[in-house]
Amino acid sequence: MLFFQALAAWAQAYNSLLFNLAIQGVCGLSLYITLMAGQLSLANAGFFLIGAYTAAISSKLGFGYPWDLLLVALLSAVTAVVVGLPALRLRGVYLALATLGFGEVVAVVARNLVLPRGCIERACIANGAVGVFGVPRDARHWHVYLVLALLGYFFYRLERSRVGRALAAIREDELVAGTMGINATYYKVLAFGIGAVIAGIAGGMWVHFNNQVDPRSAGFTQAINFLAYAVIGGTTTFVGPLVGAVFLYTLPEALRFLRDYRLMTVGLLLALAAVFAPRGILDPALWRQFSLRRPAPQPAALPRRQSDAGS
């Protein structure tokens, strides 16, 4: 009994941390689905912001939670198709830069968004750089945990489905996938759209917990954070981004004892993790190094594409 009381007290103390952690996990998954198709998209912070703004404004206009999440999903999906169809012809760093540009444009639009009409109690709906205030705090913890569980099931099934294999084929080699009759554009836009909807819903739920949203709520830093979750956790299964999100999001809290040196240490650990665990901290080969038993003979690794730049 005492244990449960202690647990409840602990959950109370870390109330918003736990909620935000789950939200970050959802965001990590939203990036993971584009990585499944081998596409590096940094647009998800933009979709997070679109989701948060849509949910905030529509709920202030009377279209409340949780139904405004439907609107969020719809708007994210439409935006994703409109942006994704031209952008997904690009690859690698070009796609990353284009989607980064999209995210910044979203932030600038949010910064200039002023909705003076329908001011409720002298507070306007959206007020430029100040953002949207007074959003009802309707989201409960279990809502986001439920979403996370559903997404876990979704990704578990997706990785074993025809769509998942098509995405993996595109990731390995788009040309070959095309010759096998896989419509690469369709699947890439599909993955981009699903990621956008997930990120948008994360934003929508987040704003219903956080009460307010402003243009700086999601930007370049968050876009890179989502990527860091996936890269640090590992991108071989959907568990990777979740572990990465838990690791990176709780790290600054766990390092509070370092005081002023805390964020420096986070940066250092991030760089070290990238250098020493380039395939993520879930990479089995990484942990095998530390095992005391002699490693079992491994099958020879497939020759990866050489990183011979410019060739």
Partner 1 sequence: MDPVRFVIQTIINGVAVGSVYGLFALGYTLIFGTLEIINLAHAAVFMMGAFFSLSLAQGTTIWGLLDPPLRLPLGVAFVLGSLGAGLLGILIERVAFRALRRRPATPLTTLISSIGVALFLVNLAQLRFGADDQRFQVRWFPDWLRENAPQWSWIIPGSRFRLAQVRIGPAQVQMLDLIILLVAVGLMLALWFAINRSKVGKAIRAVAESPRTASLLGIDVDRIIMTTFFVASALGGAAGVLVGMKNNVSPFMGQVPGLKALAVIVLGGLGDITGAMLGGLVMGIAEVLTQAAGLASWSDAVAFGVMFLILVARPQGLLGRAREQRA
Q: Which residues bind to partner 1, rule: CB under 8 A?
A: 40, 86-87, 89-90, 92-94, 96-98, 100-102, 104-105, 107-109, 111-112, 173, 175, 220, 224, 227-228, 231-232, 260-261, 263-264, 266-275, 278-279, 301, 304, 307-311
CB 297, min distance to partner 1, A:
19
CB nearer partner 1, residue 71 or residue 243: 243
**Min separation Cβ 279 and partner 1, Å:** 8
CB 11, min distance to partner 1, A: 29
Residue with Cβ nearer partner 1 (187 or 229): 229
Nearer to partner 1, 74 or 263 (CB): 263
CA dihedral for 104, 109, 110, 111, sign (positive or negative): positive
Q: Which is nearer to partner 1, 131 or 204 (CB)?
A: 131
Residue 66, preceding bond cis, omega within 30 degrees? yes
| Cα 260 → chain centroid | 28
| Nearer to partner 1 (CB atom), residue 28 or residue 204 | 28
- Closest by CA to 59, choosing from 271, 200, 205, is 205
The b-or-e profile of 76-89 (16+ CB within 10 A means b, else e) is bbebbeebbeebbe
Q: Measured between alpha carbons, how far is residue 103 from residues 37, 41, 67, 155, 196 in Å?
A: 20, 10, 25, 25, 12
Q: Collect all residues with Cβ–Cβ distance below 8 Å to 111 and sequence separation of at least 6.
A: 128, 129, 215
Nearer to partner 1, 59 or 222 (CB): 222
Q: Give the length of the chain.
A: 311
Min separation Cβ 211 and partner 1, Å: 25
Closest separation in Å from C-beta 252 to partner 1: 11
Instruction: Specify whether the CB–CB gap between 235 and 245 falls below 8 A.
Output: no
Task: Give the C-alpha separation, 78 to 105, whole Å.
Answer: 16
CA atoms lying within 13 Å on the CB side of residue 17: 14
CB of 192 to partner 1, least distance (A): 14
